[in-house]
């Protein structure tokens, strides 16, 4: 697969499903801290591209779009995991809670 088609709609959907099914609490922590939505009560991955990840965060009963840039432009699917783990750990640090292992 070339760098230009790493984040096809199928890849984005698969990553979104995984995050939403297995890491919804992590997404919420990320949106509350790095996404600037401390009152969020839920968050779901709604998209991503080489430059960032997008969430739909529930804030006061309203869905608010949240986009968080990646540290660097991604060129491989495997890099998404690394970036999301980094975001999760930064979110935990900001909240003063101990992150789980490497996920």
Which CATH number do you get for residue 11? 3.20.180.10
Residue 88 lies in a domain: yes
Query: pTM score, two decimals?
Result: 0.89
pLDDT band, residue 8 (cuts 50/70/90):
very high
- Pairwise CA distance, residues 26 & 20, whole Å: 9
pLDDT of residue 4 exceeding 60, the answer is: no
Show the domain range for 20. 3-95
Q: Report the chain's mean pLDDT, rounded to a whole number.
A: 92
- Tell me the per-residue pLDDT of 32-46, one tens digit each, with 9 for 90 and over: 999 999 999 999 999
Secondary structure string (H, E, C) spanning 30-77 = HHHHCCCCCCEEEEEEEEEECCEEEEEEEECCEEEEEEEECCCCCCCC
- Tell me the per-residue pLDDT of 47-70, one tens digit each, with 9 for 90 and over: 999 999 999 999 999 999 999 999
Residue 101 lies in a domain: no
Residue 100 lies in a domain: no
Q: Indicate the number of domains in the chain.
A: 1
């Amino acid at each position: 697969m070339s760098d230009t088609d790493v984040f096809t709609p199928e890849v984005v959907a698969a990553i979104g499903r995984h995050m939403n099914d297995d890491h919804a609490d992590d997404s919420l922590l990320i949106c509350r801290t790095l996404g600037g939505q401390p009152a969020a009560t839920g968050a779901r991955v709604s998209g991503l591209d080489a430059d960032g990840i997008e969430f739909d965060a529930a804030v006061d009963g309203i869905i608010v779009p949240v986009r968080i840039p990646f540290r660097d432009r991604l060129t491989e699917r495997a890099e998404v995991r690394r970036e999301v783990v980094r975001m999760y750990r930064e979110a935990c640090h900001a909240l003063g809670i101990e992150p789980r292992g490497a996920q």
